[in-house]
Structure 1
Amino acid sequence: MTFVESIRTCFTKFADFNGCASRSEFWWWALFNLLAGVVLGIVSDKLSLVFSLVTLVPYIAVTARRLHDTDRSGWFQLIGLIPIIGWIVLIVWCAQEGKSPNKYS
């Protein structure tokens, strides 16, 4: 999946927590959010905050679908609330290759 396809898919499925998301879809979306947040933060902090709030639900949805692709529940995102260790675990899980036969396909 390309950068543009990933962004289009994430905005199209902005509140779809069912199904799976490929690694490329998730990581392109994460890169888009990082770059846009930094650029908008340079322009205006308020604009960056608005962008972050607008993309919060799509980010949670694509992360849930990515965890589904690794055969985990989307609720495992809550592990990210644990500082440092939770973030590392979530990054490792999202970087893993998807499991083709899983219960979320």
Structure 2
Amino acid sequence: MSLLKSIRSTFLHFNDFKGKSGRKEFWHFYIFRVLCIYSFMIPGAYLLLCQIGRELRSGIYSESLSRSEPLGTLLLSIGIFIMMVFFVPFLSLRMRRLRTIGWNPNLILLWIIPFLGPLIILIGSAKKDK
């Protein structure tokens, strides 16, 4: 399955929590999602942190960062919006992937454990299909 077909398939099956998905489809969508989100979040955070550093060095700190660095705020907002758009399709893809590797889909709740939960699920997602 090609990259574009994987992405298209994931968005078309966003409400399918019962099926199965392949390893290739999961990792294509995962990498696409990470690149889309962080291509906006990292530059936005950088711009805002640079602005905060300039204001702290000059001794003038404004309470409203949106007025002082609108581009950084816009980039972070776009990144958060993309995260929300990808949330349900990625959730259904993770559940389908867990079912494909033979794990109980309820293990998706491990995702809420900081650091360890997502790591366990990502390592499990790399397993071969059963």
TM-score band by shorter chain is 0.7 to 0.9
Residue 83 of structure 2 aligns with an amino acid whose one-letter code is S
Separation in structure 1 between the aligned mates of residue 115 and residue 40 of structure 2, nearest angstrom:
26
SS of the equivalent of 1:55 reads helix
Q: How does 1:76-91 map to 2 (within 5 A)?
A: 76-91=107-122
Look up the match of 2:90: 59
- 2:128 matched to 1:94? no
Q: How does 1:23-42 map to 2 (within 5 A)?
A: 23-41=23-41, 42=43
Shift of the alpha carbon at 1:14?
Answer: 0.9
Over alpha carbons, which structure has the higher Rg? Answer: 2
Look up the match of 1:102: none
Greater percentage in helix = 2
Q: Give the stretch that moved more between structures: 33-42 or 17-26.
A: 33-42
Runs (5+) with no aligned partner, structure 1? 100-105
Aligned pair partner of 1:50 in 70, 81, 96: 81
Task: Give CA-to-partner distance per residue, 1:41-67, whole Å, 9 cap, x none.
Answer: 236110111110011000000000000
Look up the match of 1:11: 11
Aligned pair partner of 1:71 in 93, 96, 102: 102
> What is the CA RMSD across the aligned residues, in angstroms?
1.2
SS of the equivalent of 2:114 reads coil
Shift of the alpha carbon at 1:96?
Answer: 0.4
Residue 69 of structure 1 aligns with an amino acid whose one-letter code is T
Residue 55 of structure 1 aligns with an amino acid whose one-letter code is F
Separation in structure 1 between the aligned mates of residue 118 and residue 91 of structure 2, nearest angstrom:
14
Q: How many residues in Structure 1 have an aligned counterpart in Structure 2?
A: 99
Separation in structure 1 between the aligned mates of residue 86 and residue 15 of structure 2, nearest angstrom:
11
| TM-score (structure 2 length as normaliser) | 0.72
Separation in structure 2 between the aligned mates of residue 52 and residue 9 of structure 1, nearest angstrom:
18
Residue 17 of structure 1 aligns with an amino acid whose one-letter code is F
Shift of the alpha carbon at 1:92?
Answer: 1.6
Runs (5+) with no aligned partner, structure 2? 45-74
The list of structure 1 runs, each at least 4 consecutive aligned residues, that deviate by more than 3 angstroms after superposition, is: none
